[in-house]
Structure formats: structure tokens, C-alpha cells
Amino acid sequence: MKQLLSTKEVAQFLEINEKMVYTLVAEKGLPATKITGKWLFPQHLVEQWIETNTINYPKPSTPLPPYQGLLIITGSNDLLLDKTISLFNTLYPGHVAVFGNLGSMGGLRALRQNLCHMASSHLLQENENEYNFDFATKELEKMPAVVNFCKREQGILVQKGNPKKINSIADIAGQGIKIVNRPLGTGTRLLFDRLLNKAGIKGEKIEGYHNELSRHMDVGLEILAGRADAGPGIKPVASLLGLEFIPVRWERYDLLITKERFFDKGVQLFLGLLEEPAFYDLTKMFDGYDVSMSGKVVFQQET
């Protein structure tokens, strides 16, 4: 088992008093679990919580160099994005696109630190209508350009035939249910934790909640192999692996690009590819994608 900290130990770790620890649990989502009336804090989740909530980063000592054929994309993992990167590399032999799977929050941090040209993200805002804008505002000094890559259907992946009769998020907390999860900082985990909270379910009480896998496909394969009954994920994975799927919502999955790099050759080639027939052909491989907005600049709606 990974190391658990007591209230006193986590207070020392964060260099705060013990009363402030309880405030952070209640108001800021500091990861904690209560066992026999005693609060315990998984150290690796506390460290992830600190990283996820970091807002001030030092400026990079060496900026991303001028574009010379290497296109760097970081952020949220997606099957269609993987296929599109491969298509880009096939169609444009003078260019190479690479992807760093850091999760949505990790992608925004990499964009802030000038480590990539584009960040892929699907972070649902508090109003549950918009995506990414509020998070980008907090992470970046200037609002980036936001271009839609696709819309995709998020939900819960379950075993073929749904033997445990999981039909809603509330059923996840049922006796004998084992899940697999996505890491903190991913848009999928953000949505999943929000759904659990709305249902009044404490995630740490669910078997497998802390078993975090970095890719959607890894979650699906874990369920396909019978090592888990369910897990948060996207419909394209369910369709590809023959799993059952409980839909939750359609989400907007965007590419965020700093305005300084927007007109880099590789960026423009990649964005242009999203309106080509070859890209639309890729989408026919999966269920659960909507590419009607792909390649279009997205602007925040007035509320």
C-alpha cells in the first residue's frame, strides 16, 4: 500500500497548522479518507493535488525554438488524436508530430511553460456548459486560441453483457463492484469525481478508485480482461473493444494554442488537416465522435 499520512504528518508536509488541513479537505478537495474515525491522507494523491492546484510557474529559461518541422502536442489522451497524428506524419514527411500524454491540466501547464505548440484539453467548467476557458485563464498569462478537435461522448465503460447490472453512477458504489480510474488532472477524472460527488458517493470507498491508468484504452483493456467491472471513459473505446457503455454527456475536446505559435507551419498544417476528407475517414473507425466543429475556432459564450 502507498504511504498514508496522519493529519499531523500532512500538516507538516504542507507546512500548515492542523486546523487548516480540515479546511482544505472541506473547501479545496485535499484527498483524504476516514478510517475508524481517523483522517488519513495518501501521500501520492496529496502530491498530485499540490501539482494540480499550482498556478504560478517560473518562466522557461529557454523558450520553445522556432518551428523547424517538429510539432509538439501535449495534454489529454484520445484515440482519434492518435490516429490524426499518424496521418499527419504520413502526409507531411518533412514534419514530425509527437504527443506527450500529460492529461488536460498537464497539457495546459506545458503550454504555459512553452514546452509544446498545442495542448489538448476537455476540462468541464463549474457552470457545466463551457470547457477549458476558465482553466486556461488561471494557468496562462494570455488566453490562447481555442480550436475544436472534436466532440466525444463520455460515460462509464462496463464489461460486455454488464454482468454486475451497472446502469448509473450510483451503482458504482454497489457491493462487489471494482473499478479502474483515470489520474488526477485529467478531464475524465474531473468529470467522474464530480458525478460521484453529486451522487453523494465517496470515491475512496470504492474498490479500485486509486488504481489510475494514463490512457482511455488502458482503462478499457483492464475491464475487458475482467480485472475491473467499470471505469470512466469515452464511447470510442467501448465500441472498439466491444464493451458496454453508460452515456453521461457529450463533451468538447479542444486544442489550445498560444497566439505566438498559432501561425507556425506545422500548427497550420495540422489544423488544416481537420477539414480534409482523410480526417473524416478516420472517424468512421469509431462510434462516439462528432466532428461537425472540428478545425473551427471556439469563442467563450457570454453568460
Same domain for 73 and 36: no
CATH number of the CATH domain containing 135:
3.40.190.290
Do 176 and 35 reside in the same domain of the chain? no
Q: Is 57 within a domain?
A: no
The three-state DSSP-derived secondary structure of 48-66 is HHHHHCCCCCCCCCCCCCC
Co-location of 37 and 123 in the same domain:
no
Tens digit of each residue's pLDDT, the chain (303 residues): 458 888 888 888 888 888 888 888 877 778 888 777 788 888 877 877 776 666 555 555 567 888 999 999 999 999 999 999 999 999 999 999 999 999 999 999 999 999 999 999 999 998 888 999 999 998 888 899 999 999 999 999 999 999 999 999 999 988 899 999 999 899 999 999 999 999 999 898 899 999 999 999 999 999 999 999 999 999 999 999 999 999 999 999 999 999 999 999 999 999 999 999 999 999 999 999 999 999 999 987 755
**The three three-digit cell numbers of residue 226, written as one number:** 475482467
Q: Kindly give, in sequence order, each residue whose CB lies less than 8 Å from that of residue 285, ignoring residues fewer than 6 positions away.
A: 83, 240
Looking at the fold, whether 13 and 68 belong to one and the same domain comes out as no
Instruction: With respect to residue 80, please indicate whether it lies within any of the assigned structural domains.
Output: yes
Number of independent structural domains in the chain: 2
Q: Which domain holds residue 40?
A: 4-52
Spatial distance between the Cα atoms of 255 and 296, rounded to a whole number of angstroms: 10
Residues 113, 249 share a domain: yes
